[in-house]
Structure 1
Protein backbone atom coordinates (compact mmCIF):
# COMPACT_ATOMS: atom_id res chain seq x y z
CA UNK A 1 0.00 0.00 0.00
CA UNK A 2 1.53 3.35 -0.94
CA UNK A 3 2.11 5.41 2.15
CA UNK A 4 2.23 8.91 0.84
CA UNK A 5 -1.19 9.28 -0.69
CA UNK A 6 -2.19 11.01 2.52
CA UNK A 7 0.70 13.39 2.90
CA UNK A 8 -0.74 15.99 0.57
CA UNK A 9 -4.23 16.11 2.01
CA UNK A 10 -3.79 19.57 3.41
CA UNK A 11 -1.22 21.17 1.18
CA UNK A 12 -3.69 23.32 -0.71
CA UNK A 13 -1.68 26.50 -0.43
CA UNK A 14 1.89 25.55 -1.21
CA UNK A 15 3.35 28.15 -3.55
CA UNK A 16 7.00 27.72 -2.62
CA UNK A 17 8.73 24.50 -3.51
CA UNK A 18 10.85 23.05 -0.69
CA UNK A 19 14.23 23.83 -2.26
CA UNK A 20 13.34 27.46 -2.90
CA UNK A 21 12.19 27.60 0.71
CA UNK A 22 15.50 26.17 1.90
CA UNK A 23 17.37 28.72 -0.18
CA UNK A 24 15.43 31.55 1.46
CA UNK A 25 16.18 30.27 4.92
CA UNK A 26 19.87 29.86 4.01
CA UNK A 27 20.07 33.45 2.75
CA UNK A 28 18.41 34.66 5.94
CA UNK A 29 21.01 32.78 8.00
CA UNK A 30 23.88 34.34 6.04
CA UNK A 31 22.48 37.86 6.38
CA UNK A 32 22.10 37.45 10.14
CA UNK A 33 25.60 36.06 10.64
CA UNK A 34 27.10 38.91 8.65
CA UNK A 35 25.18 41.44 10.72
CA UNK A 36 26.24 39.79 13.98
CA UNK A 37 29.88 40.30 13.06
CA UNK A 38 29.34 43.91 12.00
CA UNK A 39 27.54 44.70 15.25
CA UNK A 40 30.15 43.13 17.49
CA UNK A 41 32.83 45.20 15.77
CA UNK A 42 30.69 48.34 16.06
CA UNK A 43 29.94 47.60 19.72
CA UNK A 44 33.59 47.19 20.62
CA UNK A 45 34.57 50.36 18.75
CA UNK A 46 31.84 52.56 20.22
CA UNK A 47 31.95 50.91 23.63
CA UNK A 48 28.21 50.29 23.40
CA UNK A 49 26.80 47.36 25.31
CA UNK A 50 23.48 47.86 23.50
CA UNK A 51 25.09 46.99 20.19
CA UNK A 52 26.82 43.91 21.49
CA UNK A 53 23.53 42.80 23.04
CA UNK A 54 21.84 43.37 19.69
CA UNK A 55 24.57 41.32 18.00
CA UNK A 56 23.83 38.47 20.37
CA UNK A 57 20.15 38.75 19.45
CA UNK A 58 21.01 38.48 15.79
CA UNK A 59 23.17 35.49 16.53
CA UNK A 60 20.21 33.90 18.33
CA UNK A 61 18.17 34.66 15.20
CA UNK A 62 20.71 32.93 13.02
CA UNK A 63 20.78 29.94 15.37
CA UNK A 64 16.98 29.68 15.43
CA UNK A 65 17.03 29.74 11.62
CA UNK A 66 19.75 27.06 11.54
CA UNK A 67 17.58 24.84 13.76
CA UNK A 68 14.57 25.50 11.53
CA UNK A 69 16.61 24.79 8.40
CA UNK A 70 17.93 21.50 9.78
CA UNK A 71 14.45 20.41 10.82
CA UNK A 72 13.06 21.15 7.35
CA UNK A 73 15.72 18.93 5.83
CA UNK A 74 15.14 16.09 8.30
CA UNK A 75 11.34 16.32 7.96
CA UNK A 76 11.57 15.51 4.26
CA UNK A 77 13.35 12.20 4.79
CA UNK A 78 11.24 9.21 3.75
CA UNK A 79 9.93 7.06 6.57
CA UNK A 80 11.94 4.00 7.51
CA UNK A 81 11.95 1.13 9.97
CA UNK A 82 13.06 3.36 12.83
CA UNK A 83 10.61 6.20 12.19
CA UNK A 84 7.48 4.53 10.89
CA UNK A 85 5.49 7.76 10.81
CA UNK A 86 8.22 9.47 8.82
CA UNK A 87 10.30 12.40 10.06
CA UNK A 88 7.68 15.14 9.75
CA UNK A 89 7.65 15.83 13.47
CA UNK A 90 11.22 17.10 13.33
CA UNK A 91 9.66 20.47 12.51
CA UNK A 92 7.41 20.30 15.56
CA UNK A 93 10.37 19.52 17.80
CA UNK A 94 12.38 22.39 16.29
CA UNK A 95 9.47 24.78 16.86
CA UNK A 96 9.31 23.64 20.49
CA UNK A 97 13.05 24.31 20.93
CA UNK A 98 12.76 27.75 19.33
CA UNK A 99 9.71 28.80 21.35
CA UNK A 100 11.38 27.65 24.54
CA UNK A 101 14.43 29.82 23.83
CA UNK A 102 12.14 32.73 22.93
CA UNK A 103 10.48 32.45 26.33
CA UNK A 104 13.90 32.41 27.98
CA UNK A 105 14.98 35.47 25.96
CA UNK A 106 11.87 37.41 26.90
CA UNK A 107 12.28 36.62 30.59
CA UNK A 108 15.91 37.73 30.38
CA UNK A 109 14.95 40.97 28.61
CA UNK A 110 12.34 41.66 31.27
CA UNK A 111 14.88 41.21 34.07
CA UNK A 112 17.35 43.39 32.18
CA UNK A 113 14.74 46.13 31.75
CA UNK A 114 13.80 46.08 35.42
CA UNK A 115 17.41 46.29 36.55
CA UNK A 116 18.00 49.23 34.21
CA UNK A 117 15.03 51.10 35.65
CA UNK A 118 17.14 51.52 38.79
CA UNK A 119 20.32 52.18 36.88
CA UNK A 120 19.51 53.91 33.57
CA UNK A 121 22.09 53.36 30.82
CA UNK A 122 24.55 55.76 29.30
CA UNK A 123 24.15 55.87 25.53
CA UNK A 124 27.09 56.54 23.29
CA UNK A 125 25.90 58.92 20.59
CA UNK A 126 24.25 58.36 17.28
CA UNK A 127 26.39 55.37 16.29
CA UNK A 128 24.19 53.03 18.29
CA UNK A 129 21.02 54.42 16.75
CA UNK A 130 22.39 54.09 13.22
CA UNK A 131 23.62 50.54 13.69
CA UNK A 132 20.35 49.52 15.34
CA UNK A 133 18.71 50.97 12.22
CA UNK A 134 20.82 48.67 10.05
CA UNK A 135 19.92 45.76 12.36
CA UNK A 136 16.26 46.59 11.94
CA UNK A 137 16.60 46.50 8.16
CA UNK A 138 18.30 43.09 8.35
CA UNK A 139 15.58 41.75 10.64
CA UNK A 140 12.92 43.00 8.27
CA UNK A 141 14.73 41.40 5.32
CA UNK A 142 14.89 38.10 7.22
CA UNK A 143 11.23 38.40 8.19
CA UNK A 144 10.34 39.07 4.56
CA UNK A 145 12.32 36.02 3.42
CA UNK A 146 10.58 33.73 5.89
CA UNK A 147 7.11 35.29 6.03
CA UNK A 148 5.52 33.31 3.20
CA UNK A 149 6.96 30.07 4.58
CA UNK A 150 5.84 30.84 8.12
CA UNK A 151 2.16 30.69 7.19
CA UNK A 152 2.47 27.05 6.26
CA UNK A 153 4.97 25.76 8.79
CA UNK A 154 5.00 25.74 12.58
CA UNK A 155 8.74 25.36 12.40
CA UNK A 156 9.50 28.43 10.27
CA UNK A 157 6.90 30.38 12.21
CA UNK A 158 8.91 29.97 15.40
CA UNK A 159 12.06 31.26 13.69
CA UNK A 160 10.04 34.05 12.11
CA UNK A 161 8.86 35.17 15.56
CA UNK A 162 12.46 35.23 16.75
CA UNK A 163 13.10 37.74 13.99
CA UNK A 164 10.08 39.81 14.77
CA UNK A 165 11.13 39.93 18.42
CA UNK A 166 14.51 41.08 17.24
CA UNK A 167 13.11 43.76 14.99
CA UNK A 168 11.12 45.02 17.97
CA UNK A 169 14.27 45.21 20.11
CA UNK A 170 16.02 47.18 17.37
CA UNK A 171 13.09 49.60 17.30
CA UNK A 172 13.45 49.99 21.07
CA UNK A 173 17.14 50.78 20.74
CA UNK A 174 16.43 53.36 18.02
CA UNK A 175 13.55 55.07 19.80
CA UNK A 176 15.28 54.91 23.16
CA UNK A 177 18.53 56.25 21.72
CA UNK A 178 16.85 59.16 19.96
CA UNK A 179 14.81 60.11 23.03
CA UNK A 180 17.89 59.99 25.25
CA UNK A 181 19.99 62.00 22.78
CA UNK A 182 17.35 64.68 22.29
CA UNK A 183 15.69 64.94 25.71
CA UNK A 184 18.02 62.95 27.97
CA UNK A 185 15.10 60.96 29.35
CA UNK A 186 16.99 57.81 30.34
CA UNK A 187 14.05 55.75 31.53
CA UNK A 188 12.69 55.29 28.01
CA UNK A 189 15.14 52.48 27.26
CA UNK A 190 14.23 50.17 30.17
CA UNK A 191 10.51 50.92 29.77
CA UNK A 192 10.61 49.89 26.10
CA UNK A 193 12.68 46.82 26.96
CA UNK A 194 10.09 45.66 29.49
CA UNK A 195 7.18 46.26 27.10
CA UNK A 196 8.89 44.34 24.31
CA UNK A 197 9.78 41.43 26.59
CA UNK A 198 6.13 41.10 27.62
CA UNK A 199 5.04 41.28 24.00
CA UNK A 200 7.46 38.51 22.96
CA UNK A 201 6.43 36.37 25.92
CA UNK A 202 2.76 36.72 25.05
CA UNK A 203 3.39 35.74 21.43
CA UNK A 204 5.61 32.79 22.26
CA UNK A 205 3.16 31.38 24.81
CA UNK A 206 0.19 31.66 22.47
CA UNK A 207 2.06 30.17 19.49
CA UNK A 208 3.57 27.28 21.42
CA UNK A 209 0.16 25.80 22.27
CA UNK A 210 -0.50 24.03 18.95
CA UNK A 211 3.08 22.73 19.05
CA UNK A 212 2.59 21.23 22.51
CA UNK A 213 -0.76 19.84 21.36
CA UNK A 214 0.89 17.87 18.57
CA UNK A 215 3.68 16.60 20.82
CA UNK A 216 1.09 15.56 23.42
CA UNK A 217 -0.76 13.51 20.76
CA UNK A 218 -3.77 15.81 21.02
CA UNK A 219 -6.61 15.83 18.52
CA UNK A 220 -6.32 18.54 15.84
CA UNK A 221 -7.72 21.88 16.87
CA UNK A 222 -11.45 22.08 16.34
CA UNK A 223 -11.98 18.33 15.99
CA UNK A 224 -13.04 16.13 18.87
CA UNK A 225 -12.74 12.35 18.97
CA UNK A 226 -16.40 12.07 19.99
CA UNK A 227 -17.54 13.87 16.86
CA UNK A 228 -15.47 11.62 14.63
CA UNK A 229 -16.68 8.49 16.47
CA UNK A 230 -20.33 9.47 16.14
CA UNK A 231 -19.92 10.17 12.44
CA UNK A 232 -18.20 6.81 11.95
CA UNK A 233 -20.88 4.96 13.91
CA UNK A 234 -23.48 6.60 11.67
CA UNK A 235 -22.19 4.84 8.55
CA UNK A 236 -24.68 2.18 7.37
CA UNK A 237 -23.74 -1.28 8.60
CA UNK A 238 -21.53 0.03 11.36
CA UNK A 239 -23.06 -0.70 14.77
CA UNK A 240 -20.64 0.88 17.20
CA UNK A 241 -17.28 2.57 17.31
CA UNK A 242 -15.06 2.60 20.38
CA UNK A 243 -11.42 2.82 21.43
CA UNK A 244 -11.09 5.92 19.27
CA UNK A 245 -7.73 7.71 19.22
CA UNK A 246 -7.28 10.79 17.12
CA UNK A 247 -3.94 12.54 16.82
CA UNK A 248 -1.75 14.61 14.52
CA UNK A 249 1.24 12.88 12.97
CA UNK A 250 2.55 16.32 12.04
CA UNK A 251 1.12 19.68 11.13
CA UNK A 252 -0.52 18.50 7.92
CA UNK A 253 -1.56 14.92 8.65
CA UNK A 254 -4.06 13.57 11.13
CA UNK A 255 -4.38 9.93 12.06
CA UNK A 256 -7.20 7.99 13.68
CA UNK A 257 -7.39 4.49 15.08
CA UNK A 258 -10.59 2.83 16.24
CA UNK A 259 -12.42 -0.42 16.82
CA UNK A 260 -15.47 -0.67 14.57
CA UNK A 261 -18.25 -3.14 15.28
CA UNK A 262 -19.71 -4.21 11.94
CA UNK A 263 -22.89 -6.17 11.24
CA UNK A 264 -22.74 -6.17 7.43
CA UNK A 265 -20.05 -6.91 4.89
CA UNK A 266 -16.80 -5.47 6.36
CA UNK A 267 -15.16 -4.25 3.16
CA UNK A 268 -18.12 -2.04 2.14
CA UNK A 269 -18.54 -0.55 5.59
CA UNK A 270 -14.81 0.12 6.01
CA UNK A 271 -14.66 1.73 2.57
CA UNK A 272 -17.51 4.04 3.53
CA UNK A 273 -15.97 4.86 6.91
CA UNK A 274 -12.64 5.73 5.30
CA UNK A 275 -14.38 7.87 2.70
CA UNK A 276 -16.27 9.73 5.43
CA UNK A 277 -13.05 10.32 7.39
CA UNK A 278 -11.31 11.68 4.33
CA UNK A 279 -14.10 13.89 3.02
CA UNK A 280 -15.57 15.25 6.22
CA UNK A 281 -12.59 15.42 8.54
CA UNK A 282 -9.63 15.48 6.12
CA UNK A 283 -8.18 12.37 7.79
CA UNK A 284 -6.54 10.11 5.23
CA UNK A 285 -4.57 7.98 7.66
CA UNK A 286 -6.83 5.57 9.55
CA UNK A 287 -6.29 2.22 11.20
CA UNK A 288 -9.53 0.37 11.94
CA UNK A 289 -9.97 -2.90 13.78
CA UNK A 290 -13.12 -4.75 12.80
CA UNK A 291 -15.23 -6.61 15.38
CA UNK A 292 -18.39 -8.64 14.91
CA UNK A 293 -21.33 -7.62 17.13
CA UNK A 294 -20.92 -9.08 20.62
CA UNK A 295 -17.32 -10.16 19.97
CA UNK A 296 -14.03 -8.46 20.81
CA UNK A 297 -14.04 -5.80 23.48
CA UNK A 298 -17.47 -4.44 22.56
CA UNK A 299 -19.38 -3.71 25.72
CA UNK A 300 -16.63 -4.89 28.06
CA UNK A 301 -14.55 -1.73 28.10
CA UNK A 302 -16.75 1.29 28.81
CA UNK A 303 -13.58 3.13 29.77
CA UNK A 304 -12.67 3.29 26.11
CA UNK A 305 -15.82 5.05 24.98
CA UNK A 306 -14.86 8.23 23.20
CA UNK A 307 -15.28 11.38 25.21
CA UNK A 308 -17.83 13.49 23.42
Structure 2
Protein backbone atom coordinates (compact mmCIF):
# COMPACT_ATOMS: atom_id res chain seq x y z
CA UNK A 1 0.00 0.00 0.00
CA UNK A 2 2.82 2.39 0.90
CA UNK A 3 4.47 1.75 -2.47
CA UNK A 4 1.30 2.66 -4.39
CA UNK A 5 0.83 5.76 -2.26
CA UNK A 6 4.38 6.85 -3.13
CA UNK A 7 3.68 6.57 -6.85
CA UNK A 8 0.35 8.34 -6.52
CA UNK A 9 2.11 11.15 -4.63
CA UNK A 10 4.87 11.36 -7.26
CA UNK A 11 2.28 11.48 -10.07
CA UNK A 12 0.39 14.26 -8.29
CA UNK A 13 3.66 16.17 -7.86
CA UNK A 14 4.39 15.80 -11.58
CA UNK A 15 0.96 17.25 -12.48
CA UNK A 16 1.49 20.20 -10.14
CA UNK A 17 4.87 20.87 -11.74
CA UNK A 18 3.31 20.83 -15.21
CA UNK A 19 0.67 23.39 -14.18
CA UNK A 20 3.42 25.60 -12.71
CA UNK A 21 5.47 25.31 -15.93
CA UNK A 22 2.52 26.46 -18.10
CA UNK A 23 1.77 29.38 -15.75
CA UNK A 24 5.39 30.51 -15.78
CA UNK A 25 5.68 30.34 -19.56
CA UNK A 26 2.66 32.68 -19.82
CA UNK A 27 4.08 35.05 -17.18
CA UNK A 28 7.55 35.11 -18.79
CA UNK A 29 6.24 35.95 -22.27
CA UNK A 30 3.96 38.74 -21.00
CA UNK A 31 6.73 40.22 -18.83
CA UNK A 32 9.30 40.22 -21.64
CA UNK A 33 6.88 41.99 -23.98
CA UNK A 34 5.80 44.37 -21.21
CA UNK A 35 9.38 45.06 -20.10
CA UNK A 36 10.45 45.95 -23.66
CA UNK A 37 7.43 48.21 -24.17
CA UNK A 38 7.66 49.95 -20.78
CA UNK A 39 11.48 50.08 -20.62
CA UNK A 40 11.50 48.54 -17.12
CA UNK A 41 14.69 46.66 -16.25
CA UNK A 42 13.07 45.35 -13.05
CA UNK A 43 10.23 43.86 -15.11
CA UNK A 44 12.72 42.32 -17.56
CA UNK A 45 14.82 41.00 -14.65
CA UNK A 46 11.64 39.48 -13.20
CA UNK A 47 10.94 37.97 -16.63
CA UNK A 48 14.47 36.54 -16.74
CA UNK A 49 13.97 35.09 -13.29
CA UNK A 50 10.63 33.68 -14.43
CA UNK A 51 12.35 32.12 -17.43
CA UNK A 52 14.81 30.50 -15.02
CA UNK A 53 11.74 29.22 -13.16
CA UNK A 54 10.51 27.59 -16.37
CA UNK A 55 13.88 25.90 -16.93
CA UNK A 56 14.16 24.83 -13.27
CA UNK A 57 10.62 23.48 -13.23
CA UNK A 58 11.25 21.51 -16.43
CA UNK A 59 14.44 20.07 -14.88
CA UNK A 60 12.53 19.28 -11.67
CA UNK A 61 9.70 17.66 -13.63
CA UNK A 62 12.00 15.30 -15.55
CA UNK A 63 14.05 14.58 -12.41
CA UNK A 64 10.81 13.71 -10.61
CA UNK A 65 9.90 11.26 -13.39
CA UNK A 66 13.40 9.76 -13.57
CA UNK A 67 13.51 9.20 -9.80
CA UNK A 68 10.50 6.85 -10.13
CA UNK A 69 12.31 4.53 -12.55
CA UNK A 70 13.30 1.16 -11.16
CA UNK A 71 16.89 0.00 -10.71
CA UNK A 72 18.47 -2.23 -13.38
CA UNK A 73 21.59 -4.39 -13.51
CA UNK A 74 23.59 -1.56 -15.11
CA UNK A 75 21.94 1.15 -12.98
CA UNK A 76 21.82 -0.48 -9.56
CA UNK A 77 20.79 2.74 -7.80
CA UNK A 78 18.34 3.62 -10.56
CA UNK A 79 17.94 7.39 -11.02
CA UNK A 80 17.66 8.18 -7.32
CA UNK A 81 20.16 11.03 -7.61
CA UNK A 82 18.33 12.77 -10.48
CA UNK A 83 16.51 15.09 -8.09
CA UNK A 84 19.73 16.05 -6.28
CA UNK A 85 21.35 16.92 -9.62
CA UNK A 86 18.25 18.97 -10.50
CA UNK A 87 18.55 20.87 -7.20
CA UNK A 88 22.24 21.56 -7.92
CA UNK A 89 21.51 22.81 -11.48
CA UNK A 90 18.64 25.00 -10.28
CA UNK A 91 20.66 26.52 -7.44
CA UNK A 92 23.59 27.21 -9.80
CA UNK A 93 21.27 28.91 -12.30
CA UNK A 94 19.84 31.11 -9.53
CA UNK A 95 23.32 32.40 -8.67
CA UNK A 96 24.36 33.02 -12.30
CA UNK A 97 21.14 34.93 -13.03
CA UNK A 98 21.58 36.95 -9.83
CA UNK A 99 25.08 38.08 -10.87
CA UNK A 100 23.82 39.14 -14.31
CA UNK A 101 20.98 41.12 -12.72
CA UNK A 102 23.35 42.91 -10.32
CA UNK A 103 25.59 43.91 -13.24
CA UNK A 104 22.64 45.26 -15.26
CA UNK A 105 21.07 46.92 -12.23
CA UNK A 106 24.24 48.87 -11.40
CA UNK A 107 24.60 50.00 -15.03
CA UNK A 108 20.99 51.23 -15.14
CA UNK A 109 21.27 52.82 -11.67
CA UNK A 110 24.06 55.05 -12.97
CA UNK A 111 21.92 56.00 -15.99
CA UNK A 112 18.24 55.82 -14.98
CA UNK A 113 15.65 55.89 -17.76
CA UNK A 114 11.90 56.72 -17.73
CA UNK A 115 9.70 53.64 -17.26
CA UNK A 116 6.06 53.01 -18.28
CA UNK A 117 4.81 52.41 -14.74
CA UNK A 118 1.18 51.46 -15.55
CA UNK A 119 2.24 48.41 -17.55
CA UNK A 120 4.76 47.47 -14.83
CA UNK A 121 1.99 47.58 -12.19
CA UNK A 122 -0.46 45.46 -14.24
CA UNK A 123 2.08 42.78 -15.22
CA UNK A 124 3.58 42.54 -11.75
CA UNK A 125 0.09 41.84 -10.35
CA UNK A 126 -0.39 39.10 -13.00
CA UNK A 127 2.98 37.58 -12.00
CA UNK A 128 2.13 37.74 -8.28
CA UNK A 129 -1.15 35.88 -8.85
CA UNK A 130 0.42 33.26 -11.17
CA UNK A 131 3.45 32.57 -8.99
CA UNK A 132 1.35 32.73 -5.81
CA UNK A 133 -0.85 29.94 -7.16
CA UNK A 134 2.24 27.85 -8.08
CA UNK A 135 3.76 28.42 -4.63
CA UNK A 136 0.58 27.14 -2.96
CA UNK A 137 0.58 24.12 -5.31
CA UNK A 138 4.12 23.08 -4.38
CA UNK A 139 4.21 24.16 -0.73
CA UNK A 140 3.47 20.67 0.62
CA UNK A 141 5.96 18.96 -1.72
CA UNK A 142 8.75 21.43 -0.82
CA UNK A 143 9.30 19.72 2.53
CA UNK A 144 9.81 16.29 0.95
CA UNK A 145 13.01 16.62 -1.07
CA UNK A 146 15.67 19.01 -2.38
CA UNK A 147 14.41 18.95 -5.95
CA UNK A 148 10.93 20.16 -5.02
CA UNK A 149 12.42 22.61 -2.55
CA UNK A 150 14.55 24.12 -5.35
CA UNK A 151 11.49 24.50 -7.60
CA UNK A 152 9.47 25.96 -4.73
CA UNK A 153 12.25 28.45 -3.89
CA UNK A 154 12.44 29.60 -7.52
CA UNK A 155 8.70 30.31 -7.50
CA UNK A 156 8.66 31.89 -4.04
CA UNK A 157 11.56 34.25 -4.82
CA UNK A 158 9.91 35.21 -8.07
CA UNK A 159 6.61 35.99 -6.35
CA UNK A 160 8.47 38.18 -3.86
CA UNK A 161 10.39 39.81 -6.72
CA UNK A 162 7.07 40.60 -8.42
CA UNK A 163 5.81 42.20 -5.21
CA UNK A 164 8.95 44.39 -5.21
CA UNK A 165 8.35 45.28 -8.90
CA UNK A 166 4.75 46.23 -8.07
CA UNK A 167 5.92 48.54 -5.27
CA UNK A 168 8.50 50.01 -7.65
CA UNK A 169 5.83 50.57 -10.31
CA UNK A 170 3.63 52.44 -7.82
CA UNK A 171 6.58 54.58 -6.64
CA UNK A 172 7.51 55.45 -10.25
CA UNK A 173 3.89 56.26 -11.09
CA UNK A 174 3.31 58.66 -8.20
CA UNK A 175 6.82 60.01 -7.49
CA UNK A 176 8.72 59.50 -10.82
CA UNK A 177 11.67 57.96 -8.97
CA UNK A 178 12.92 55.89 -11.91
CA UNK A 179 16.12 54.86 -10.11
CA UNK A 180 13.92 52.65 -7.88
CA UNK A 181 13.65 50.23 -10.84
CA UNK A 182 17.41 49.56 -10.73
CA UNK A 183 17.53 49.42 -6.94
CA UNK A 184 14.79 46.77 -6.88
CA UNK A 185 16.63 44.77 -9.55
CA UNK A 186 19.74 44.65 -7.34
CA UNK A 187 17.70 43.75 -4.22
CA UNK A 188 15.95 40.92 -6.12
CA UNK A 189 19.35 39.63 -7.28
CA UNK A 190 20.88 39.72 -3.79
CA UNK A 191 17.90 37.77 -2.50
CA UNK A 192 18.47 35.17 -5.21
CA UNK A 193 22.09 34.79 -4.05
CA UNK A 194 20.93 34.35 -0.44
CA UNK A 195 18.33 31.70 -1.37
CA UNK A 196 20.43 29.86 -3.95
CA UNK A 197 23.68 29.55 -1.98
CA UNK A 198 22.31 27.32 0.81
CA UNK A 199 20.62 25.00 -1.66
CA UNK A 200 23.80 24.82 -3.78
CA UNK A 201 25.86 23.98 -0.69
CA UNK A 202 23.36 21.34 0.47
CA UNK A 203 23.10 19.60 -2.93
CA UNK A 204 26.91 19.74 -3.38
CA UNK A 205 27.38 17.94 -0.05
CA UNK A 206 25.17 15.07 -1.25
CA UNK A 207 26.79 14.86 -4.70
CA UNK A 208 30.30 14.84 -3.17
CA UNK A 209 29.29 11.97 -0.84
CA UNK A 210 30.05 14.03 2.26
CA UNK A 211 28.86 12.68 5.60
CA UNK A 212 25.45 14.21 6.43
CA UNK A 213 25.69 17.14 8.84
CA UNK A 214 23.50 15.38 11.40
CA UNK A 215 25.87 12.41 11.63
CA UNK A 216 29.09 12.30 13.70
CA UNK A 217 31.24 9.34 12.63
CA UNK A 218 33.04 9.08 15.98
CA UNK A 219 29.71 8.76 17.81
CA UNK A 220 28.62 5.90 15.56
CA UNK A 221 31.92 4.09 16.06
CA UNK A 222 31.59 4.55 19.85
CA UNK A 223 28.02 3.18 19.90
CA UNK A 224 28.76 0.15 17.69
CA UNK A 225 31.95 -0.67 19.66
CA UNK A 226 29.86 -1.11 22.83
CA UNK A 227 28.02 -4.13 21.33
CA UNK A 228 29.16 -7.45 22.87
CA UNK A 229 31.69 -9.32 20.78
CA UNK A 230 32.94 -6.31 18.79
CA UNK A 231 36.62 -5.46 19.21
CA UNK A 232 37.02 -2.60 16.75
CA UNK A 233 35.19 -0.53 14.11
CA UNK A 234 37.27 0.98 11.28
CA UNK A 235 37.30 2.01 7.59
CA UNK A 236 33.94 3.77 7.97
CA UNK A 237 32.15 5.44 5.06
CA UNK A 238 28.85 7.29 5.47
CA UNK A 239 27.09 9.05 2.61
CA UNK A 240 23.68 10.23 1.50
CA UNK A 241 22.37 8.72 -1.73
CA UNK A 242 19.35 11.03 -1.86
CA UNK A 243 16.98 12.54 0.65
CA UNK A 244 15.52 9.20 1.70
CA UNK A 245 18.64 7.03 1.93
CA UNK A 246 21.74 7.34 4.13
CA UNK A 247 24.32 4.56 3.70
CA UNK A 248 26.92 3.22 6.13
CA UNK A 249 29.70 0.79 5.32
CA UNK A 250 32.38 -0.27 7.78
CA UNK A 251 34.86 -3.01 8.70
CA UNK A 252 34.23 -4.63 12.09
CA UNK A 253 36.87 -6.68 13.89
CA UNK A 254 35.37 -9.33 16.17
CA UNK A 255 36.90 -10.60 19.43
CA UNK A 256 36.12 -14.24 18.60
CA UNK A 257 35.83 -16.28 15.41
CA UNK A 258 32.02 -16.22 15.48
CA UNK A 259 29.47 -18.22 13.48
CA UNK A 260 27.60 -16.59 10.60
CA UNK A 261 24.29 -16.85 12.49
CA UNK A 262 25.85 -14.93 15.42
CA UNK A 263 27.08 -12.24 13.01
CA UNK A 264 23.56 -11.93 11.54
CA UNK A 265 22.14 -11.29 15.02
CA UNK A 266 24.79 -8.61 15.69
CA UNK A 267 24.15 -7.08 12.26
CA UNK A 268 20.43 -6.68 13.07
CA UNK A 269 21.42 -4.98 16.34
CA UNK A 270 23.73 -2.60 14.44
CA UNK A 271 21.03 -1.81 11.88
CA UNK A 272 18.51 -0.98 14.61
CA UNK A 273 21.07 1.11 16.49
CA UNK A 274 22.18 3.30 13.57
CA UNK A 275 18.64 3.69 12.20
CA UNK A 276 17.04 4.86 15.44
CA UNK A 277 19.98 6.97 16.62
CA UNK A 278 21.39 8.37 13.37
CA UNK A 279 18.74 7.92 10.66
CA UNK A 280 20.93 5.52 8.65
CA UNK A 281 18.77 3.04 6.73
CA UNK A 282 21.29 1.11 4.58
CA UNK A 283 24.09 -0.80 6.31
CA UNK A 284 26.93 -2.82 4.76
CA UNK A 285 29.34 -4.42 7.24
CA UNK A 286 32.55 -6.34 6.43
CA UNK A 287 33.24 -8.74 9.35
CA UNK A 288 36.86 -9.50 10.26
CA UNK A 289 38.75 -11.74 12.68
CA UNK A 290 42.50 -11.44 12.97
CA UNK A 291 42.83 -9.77 9.57
CA UNK A 292 46.01 -7.74 9.11
CA UNK A 293 44.81 -4.24 8.26
CA UNK A 294 45.09 -0.91 10.11
CA UNK A 295 42.45 -1.17 12.87
CA UNK A 296 43.06 2.30 14.25
CA UNK A 297 42.08 4.12 11.06
CA UNK A 298 38.42 5.11 11.34
CA UNK A 299 38.18 6.78 7.94
CA UNK A 300 40.30 5.71 4.97
CA UNK A 301 39.87 5.24 1.19
Superposed pair shares fold, TM > 0.5: yes
How far apart are 1:194 and its partner, in Å?
1.6
* Residue in structure 1 matched with residue 85 of structure 2 by the alignment: 93
State which drifts further: 38-47 or 96-105. Answer: 38-47
**C-alpha displacement at 1:196, in angstroms?**
2.1
Of Structure 1 and Structure 2, the greater helix share is in 2
Aligned residue among 291, 295, 300 for 1:295: 291
Give 3-state SS (helix, strand or coil) of 2:139's partner. Answer: helix
Number of residue pairs matched by the alignment? 292
RMSD of aligned alpha carbons: 2.3
Distance 1:111 1:182, change over 3 A: same
> Are the aligned partners of 1:226 and 1:306 in contact in 2 as well (CA < 8 Å)?
no
How far apart are the structure 1 equivalents of 2:151 and 2:175? 36
Please, which of 27, 35, 49 is the counterpart of residue 27 of structure 2? 35
* 1:174 to 2:166 alignment: yes
Match of 1:270 among 259, 267, 271: 267
4+ runs deviating over 6 angstroms: none
Equivalent residues in 2 for 1:22-171 (5 A)?
22-43=14-35, 46=38, 50-171=42-163
- Shift in Å at residue 221 of structure 1? 1.9
Q: Are 1:117 and 1:187, in contact at CA under 8 Å, matched by a contact in 2?
A: yes
Residue equivalent to 1:286: 283
What is the CA distance between 1:285 and its match in structure 2? 0.8
Q: What 5-or-longer segments of structure 2 have no aligned partner?
A: none
> Match for residue 238 of structure 2?
246
User: 1:301 offset after TM fit, Å?
Assistant: 5.5
TM-superposition CA deviations, 1:173-232 (whole Å, max 9, x none):
211121111111222222222222112101211222221111110112211122111111
Q: State how far apart, in whole Å, the 1-side matches of 2:171 and 2:228 are.
A: 72
Contact preservation (8 Å) 2:238, 2:248: yes
TM-score scaled by length of structure 2? 0.89
Residue equivalent to 1:4? none
Q: Deviations over 1:56-77 (max 9, x none)?
A: 3322211110100000110111
